[in-house]
Amino acid sequence: MMLQSAPSVSSEALLDVDNLVVEYPVGAKIVHAVSGVSLQIARGETLGLVGESGCGKSTLGRAVLQLRRPTAGRVLFDGHDLTAMQGDALRLMRRRVQLIFQDPIASLNPRRKIGDIVAEPLVIAGVKDPEKRKQLVHEVLTAVGLDPTLVVGRLPHEFSGGQCQRICIARALILNPEFIVCDEPVSALDVSIRAQILNLLEEMKGRFGLTLLFIAHDLAVVKAVSDRVAVMYLGRLCEVGPSEQLFARPAHPYTALLIEAIPVPDPDVRPTETVPVGEPPSPIAPPSGCRFRTRCPRADQRCSDEMPELRVVAPGQFVACHHPLI
């Protein structure tokens, strides 16, 4: 059987991203979507990646998987430099990594039956025996909580958003990957079924020994699923730290504003501040120095002159700020 149970979690870095840069040429201009991001994810860990729309989260996720080749920087996966790989070597390595998208319905081919959609990665990987493929499809659909006999012969439009996301998760799991980038996997789903899908991802993570990069703009979701959290603003990381610690004692003014803006269930308790006013500046012409300075209540001259680098501010917690809150 191809689907195996989890290896034990260790602190070894499965993913090591070093100074990653992604730029999109748009006419004569350049969009600085990701500007020198470094991070590590340990085997078995979930790293949450948060930040406002357009800050570069999806670009970073896609560049890590080499679906968009980075402009500069390195991505080491299990010690192998993906950025230096081409052709067959990269294709083989790609079997070990997967991507789950935000819009499950749009990411399923509407004209293909579910059985064929879920089996497709096996076909591409060269599993030629149809009986073997069928067996693996049945196993993985069962694992994600669907009845294979009721599902394989039907088309995507016959399923709800939540069911489609289960199908996408099955397709992502079928080659028994080690690492999955989950790009806003529950954002397009009804609130009522988000928890089910998050629980499913958590269960699959334990069962198949997965390591996750979990992208979301919803901090509450990220807090619920992540071991550590990385906060991104306009193409750069502001802060990285253990989830509980970062939420309890944020060091970066932007992280603090995001946390204060999380809706509270009690209607009598109002957030003291909201997310920073106005739109973030354009990534075509990011501000000098600290990119957050145009919206930061603590900004001074140094923040315009000098770009802050990530540095340790508490055990395991890193901040890129000249005037951190702790």
Ligand X SMILES: Nc1ncnc2c1ncn2[C@@H]1O[C@H](COP(=O)(O)OP(=O)(O)OP(=O)(O)O)[C@@H](O)[C@H]1O
> Interface with ligand SF4 by CB under 6 A: which residues?
252-253, 290, 292-293, 296, 298-299, 303, 308, 321-323
> Nearest approach, Cβ of 154 to Mg ion (angstroms)?
29
Mutual orientation of helices 161-173 and 114-124 as an angle, nearest 10°? 20
Kindly state the tokens that stand for 23.
Answer: 């730029």
By C-beta, is 53 or 301 nearer to ligand X?
Answer: 53
By C-beta, is 51 or 185 nearer to ligand X?
Answer: 51
Determine which residue in the list 55, 169, 198, 320 makes contact with ligand X, applying CB under 6 A: 55
- Can you give the binding site for Mg ion, defined by CB under 5 A? 58
Q: Extract long-range pairs of 157-166: CB within 8 Å, 24+ residues apart.
A: 157/105, 157/110, 159/114, 160/193, 161/104, 161/105, 161/188, 161/189, 161/190, 161/193, 162/189, 162/190, 162/193, 162/196, 162/197, 164/104, 164/105, 164/108, 165/100, 165/104, 165/189, 165/197, 166/197, 166/200
> Nearest approach, Cβ of 311 to ligand X (angstroms)?
24
* CA dist., res. 78 & res. 82, Å (int): 10
Residues in region 228-287 near ligand X by CB under 6 A: 283
Residues in region 7-26 near ligand X by CB under 6 A: 24, 26
Name the binder of 303 from Mg ion, ligand X, ligand SF4, none, CB < 5-8 A by kind.
Answer: ligand SF4
Site for ligand X contains 80 (CB under 6 A): no
Q: How many residues bind ligand X (CB under 6 A)?
A: 14
Residues in region 154-183 near ligand X by CB under 6 A: none
Site for ligand X contains 36 (CB under 6 A): no
Contacts of 238 (CB under 8 A, 6+ apart): 231, 232, 252, 254, 255, 292, 319, 320, 321
By C-beta, is 22 or 290 nearer to ligand SF4?
Answer: 290
Q: Where along the sequence are the contacts to ligand X (CB under 6 A)?
A: 24, 26, 31, 33, 51, 53-59, 217, 283
